[in-house]
Amino acid sequence: MLRAVFATALLVQSAYYLREPSPSLATLVVGLAGVASGALLWIGFLTPFVGVVVGLVFTGIGFSLLPVCTRTLFDSSISVGFAVTILLAIITLGPGAFSVDARLFGRREIIIPPSSSPRR
- pLDDT tens, position by position, 46-81: 998 999 988 888 878 777 777 777 777 777 778 878
pTM: 0.80
Model pLDDT, residue 12 = 92
pLDDT above 70 (res 118): no
pLDDT at 45 > cutoff 90: yes
Q: How many CB atoms lie within 10 A of CB 72?
A: 15
Is the pLDDT assigned to residue 8 strictly greater than 80? yes
Looking at residue 83, its pLDDT comes to: 86
